Amino acid sequence: MNKSASVVIIGGGISGCAIAYNLAKKGVKDVIIIEKEYLSSGATGRCGAGIRMQWGTEMNCRLAKYSVEFFETANEVLEYAGDVEFKQGGYLIIAATEKEVAQFQKNIKLQNSLGIPSRYITPQEAKEIVPHMDETQILGAAFNPKDGHLNPFHTTQAYADAAVRLGVEIMKYTEVTGIKVENGKIAGVQTDKGYISTPVVVNAAGGHAQIISEMVGVKLPLYSERHQILVTEAVEPMQGPMFMSFSQNIYCQQTPHGSFIMGRGDPTEPRDLRVTSSWEFLEEMAKTCIRFLPPLKDIRMVRQWAGLYNMSPDAQPIYGPVKDVEGFFLACGYSGHGFMFGPVTGVVVSESILGEEHTIPVDALSYDRFEKGELILEPSVV
Amino acid sequence: MIKTDIVVIGGGPAGICAAINAASSGAKVLLLDRDSQLGGQLIKQTHMFFGSQKQHASVRGIDIPGILVKEMEEYKDNIQIMLDATVLGIYEDGVLTIEKNDDYIKIKPKGIIVATGASEKFPAFPNNDLPGIYGAGAVQTLMNVYGVSPGKSVFMVGAGNIGLIVSYQLVQAGVEVKGVICRGPRYGGYAVHASKLKRIGVPIMPGHRVIHAHGKDKLERITLIKLDENKKEISGTEFDIETDVLCISTGLTPLGELLWQMGCEMKFIREFSGHVPVRNEELETTVPGVFVAGDVAGIEEASSAMVEGRLAGLCCAKKLGFTNPEYSSLKEDYLQQLHDLRSGPVGDGIRKGLAKIVV
Ligand SMILES: Cc1cc2nc3c(=O)[nH]c(=O)nc-3n(C[C@H](O)[C@H](O)[C@H](O)COP(=O)(O)OP(=O)(O)OC[C@H]3O[C@@H](n4cnc5c(N)ncnc54)[C@H](O)[C@@H]3O)c2cc1C
Ligand SMILES: Cc1cc2nc3c(=O)[nH]c(=O)nc-3n(C[C@H](O)[C@H](O)[C@H](O)COP(=O)(O)OP(=O)(O)OC[C@H]3O[C@@H](n4cnc5c(N)ncnc54)[C@H](O)[C@@H]3O)c2cc1C
């Protein structure tokens, strides 16, 4: 089965589907998404799916704000038959150290100046928002009622359905095994189901992005690392916001369905592509969760799993073209927060491909920032 | 963290036999079951078993665990039994996590024998979760283990051996069985079971499917439709039957989650009703030190489950350095028994399945 396309997108996660939708909306024909398994089988379907506007740099605040505003009307804009389940219950980010108190107060000033309604609150106020928390464990908290979380499967499906209606083809269970470059230009993509000739390839392969890039001889400064997460049985709604802490290493949300989803990182995690689970995670997660949210000790967990963070040197995504290979575009390196940037990804990468000016300020996220040494200093990453 | 030589997961006929043979070879064994008694499926089977003498044919299913447990007592120094203990997970470092009476326990064995049996398949139709709709296993458990009648009238979906046997047992227990349907043009179980039912006037209705369940708070009525010889629905042939219990007996599928989690190579084998692990003749999976036995290795019968258990126990122990003095002759005997059980036309499917999965 050989065919041709105008753009081939590698990866059927939130990034690939959002890019395909935006390209098709702009009238691009013959866009193909290639996904080696099923939609959302990568980090997207494994993630915490939280979105926060509480960032420490102006750019990230703006990108997140753009995404929140999009998610607020995503069901209508994408004409989705289901529901992306955007629960806008806020993000409550606890301050457990003096350093965090100072940082959050600084961040909030910046956020407020950009129209983000975050505020610094006392432990007492935090307890009013999350009544089952142990407020004696914290010094204060940052709260933004407009943050929240979504259902990542529905969100991706919403983009995919809209893209397909606009003519995009999605090839599932198809793996890219090679990319053909001729005279410094993309010529086509080899898959296990046949060859597709195309002048444009988008690398939206999540934790496998560095492997895809090597197929065109580009060595990206990226690595992947396992992050684990679990889900509990469903209980009555009791927690509005995403509860999180940078220093204490926890995020925990309650889905509209009633299940709690929570995760934490492990600083000793090796750099590789494993997505297996460990019992150590369960134990550490349970301890951390019960310390801050004691009543959750009575809830049963039903499942644990893991996904890959695709880490870049400054923990920021890489968007746009690669100088040395004409027609090769990047949408990777999200470093653990690429779900919330999905709407931005879709817009800016489609603009890059069409040579249009960016409508959202992401020039600082181009690949050549590493060459120039212009890394982004975002203080508020997990 | 508990340390032991071999953990056997599942205390059905396969697991008990595996524990016996591993222990008799000299290994320390921990036998786990999530139920509060040993026996697996057998504890609810009041009928006489078929098969050959060696595998306790003509004994009632419920009496077999007792015989096996007695045999196990000979090796009690080597066997520890832990009941009400559900294995939740097996991790890449070989650690098992267990929930027992709300306690969380970790075990690190050197070898693992998975004998978790099977779970029931459940067809999809609107309202299939109404109270009053049961799996055949639940009906059997209620009736034969707890002495509780599932309802006044039962309609049975599925005419394999389990559907036929459970229908007959229901009638014996004084419950009205309104009919037994299956999709194909003929019932799937043995003729002995079917003719018993026919004799007492229970209609067996091949070529039907349930398409809807009705009821407000619990099941009141079902809608059936006729199927042609290709199992396609014939529109306009829908009709309703009143019943307060619908019993689903549409087959079992191997309960292989733990094997998936360990990373055993799994293959879909139609003849075994689901995904089963690739294994060698000794029942070792593609993950070294992890063995399987019984229904989890492919839906068969208690007779073969017991022999597989013995073989897996013997070979897993050998792998860890506990070689039974009679290893070679025992192994040969078990392989011969399995061969005999699977010969003849009834074993056709099993033999075909094995050809695809044993490496
Ligand atoms: C545990 C965890 C929690 C997270 N929590 C959050 C959060 O709360 N908020 C947030 O914003 N982000 C979060 N993230 C990060 C987020 O999940 C990712 O940044 C985002 O989903 C990336 O989406 P993507 O579409 O770029 O990549 P992916 O979703 O990984 O999609 C890439 C796809 O490419 C496919 N692929 C790879 N190689 C090939 C090939 N050779 N051929 C064909 N297809 C291929 C894969 O199968 C995969 O489906 C979390 C991540 C993890 C692991
Ligand atoms: C109605 C009926 C009639 C039958 N008639 C016959 C017959 O006449 N002759 C015959 O030979 N066979 C017959 N069988 C088949 C026979 O019962 C099964 O093939 C046999 O029981 C399979 O044995 P097993 O040990 O593999 O699994 P099971 O008997 O199913 O035992 C598995 C055990 O594993 C435990 N378990 C599962 N998961 C976990 C976990 N995660 N942690 C801890 N424990 C776990 C379960 O609690 C269970 O006790 C019949 C079956 C049925 C249902």
**pLDDT tens by residue, A261-303:** 999 999 999 999 999 999 999 999 999 999 999 999 999 999 9
Atom of ligand 1 nearest to the CA of A338: 19
**Ligand 2 center from residue B17 Cα (angstroms):** 13
- What pLDDT, on the 0 to 100 scale, is given for residue A2? 81
List of domains in chain A: 2-47+153-222+314-372 (3.50.50.60), 91-145+223-309 (3.30.9.10)
At B212-259, the pLDDT tens digits run 999 999 999 999 999 999 999 999 999 999 999 999 999 999 999 999
Does the beta carbon of B51 sit less than 6 angstroms from any atom of ligand 2?
yes
Q: Check: CB of residue A380 under 8 Å from CB of residue A54.
A: yes
Q: How many beta-carbon contacts under 8 Å exist across A and B? A: 16
- What pLDDT, on the 0 to 100 scale, is given for residue B53? 66
**A276, A282, A304 ranked by CB distance to B92: nearest:** A276
**Ligand 2 center from residue B281 Cα (angstroms):** 21
CA distances from A176 to A104, A212, A295, A310 (A): 43, 8, 47, 18
- What pLDDT, on the 0 to 100 scale, is given for residue B344? 86
Answer yes or no: is pLDDT of B57 > 80. no
**Ligand 2 center from residue B285 Cα (angstroms):** 20
At A136-151, the pLDDT tens digits run 999 999 999 999 999 9
Atom of ligand 1 nearest to the CA of A13: 25
Q: What is the per-residue burial (b if ≥16 Cβ within 10 Å, else e) of B27-50?
A: bbbbbbbbbeebbbbbbbbbeebe
Chosen for mutation from A279, A301, A302 (greatest number of chain B CBs closer than 10 Å) is: A279
**Ligand 2 center from residue A26 Cα (angstroms):** 59
- Nearest in space to A303 (alpha carbons), one of A227, A225, A229: A229
- What pLDDT, on the 0 to 100 scale, is given for residue B51? 65
- Give the up-direction half-sphere exposure of residue B297: CA atoms within 13 A in the CB hemisphere: 34
SS3 A190: strand
Beta bridge partners of A93: A142, A244
Residue of A nearest to B99 (CA): A300
Does the beta carbon of A52 sit less than 6 angstroms from any atom of ligand 1?
no
At B114-134, the pLDDT tens digits run 999 999 999 999 999 999 999
> CB contact, 8 Å: A282 with chain B?
yes
| Mutation probe of ligand 2 site: the residue of B90, B116, B144 with most atoms within 8 A of C-beta | B116
Give the mean model confidence (pLDDT) for residues B50-54: 67
When mean pLDDT is compared across A290-304, B25-39, B49-63, B145-159, the lowest value belongs to B49-63
Beta bridge partners of A10: A34, A203
- What pLDDT, on the 0 to 100 scale, is given for residue B46? 83
Give the mean model confidence (pLDDT) for residues B158-171: 95
Q: Is A159 left (phi over 0), alpha (psi -120 to 50) or beta?
A: alpha
Q: Check: CB of residue A327 under 8 Å from CB of residue A200.
A: yes
Q: What's the whole-number average pLDDT of chain A?
A: 97
Residue of B nearest to A276 (CA): B92
Give the mean model confidence (pLDDT) for residues A66-86: 98
ipTM above 0.90, yes or no: no
Q: Report the share of chain A in percent with pLDDT over 90.
A: 98
- What pLDDT, on the 0 to 100 scale, is given for residue B54? 72
Question: Nearest C-alpha to atom 52 of ligand 1 is from which residue?
Answer: A47
Answer yes or no: is pLDDT of B154 > 90. yes
Answer yes or no: is pLDDT of A48 > 70. yes
Cβ contacts of B89 on chain A, cutoff 8 Å: 277, 279, 304
Answer yes or no: is pLDDT of B45 > 90. no
At A233-256, the pLDDT tens digits run 999 999 999 999 999 999 999 999
Answer yes or no: is pLDDT of A375 > 70. yes
Give the mean model confidence (pLDDT) for residues B78-102: 95
Residue-wise DSSP of A153-167? HHHHHHHHHHHHHTT
Does the beta carbon of B40 sit less than 6 angstroms from any atom of ligand 2?
yes
Give the mean model confidence (pLDDT) for residues B57-75: 91
| Mutation probe of ligand 1 site: the residue of A151, A208, A262, A335 with most atoms within 8 A of C-beta | A208
- Taking residue A22's Cβ as centre, other Cβ atoms within 10 Å add up to 25
Cβ contacts of A279 on chain B, cutoff 8 Å: 89, 91, 95, 97, 106
Give the mean model confidence (pLDDT) for residues B347-353: 93
CA distances from B257 to A336, B276, B282 (A): 29, 10, 21
**Ligand 1 center from residue A12 Cα (angstroms):** 9
pTM of this structure: 0.89
Give the mean model confidence (pLDDT) for residues B332-340: 96
Alpha helix stretches (DSSP H) within A114-150: 123-129
What is the C-alpha separation between B206 and B226, in angstroms, rounded?
Answer: 9
Answer yes or no: is pLDDT of B302 > 70. yes
| Alpha carbon of B87: minimum distance to chain A alpha carbons (Å) | 13
One-letter amino acid for residue A78 of the chain: L
- What pLDDT, on the 0 to 100 scale, is given for residue B52? 66
Please write down the long-range contacts of A112-117, taking CB distance under 8 Å and 24 or more positions apart. Answer: A114/A58, A114/A61, A114/A62, A114/A65, A115/A65, A116/A53, A116/A54, A116/A61, A116/A65, A116/A144, A116/A146, A117/A144, A117/A145, A117/A146
At A92-146, the pLDDT tens digits run 999 999 999 999 999 999 999 999 999 999 999 999 999 999 999 999 999 999 9
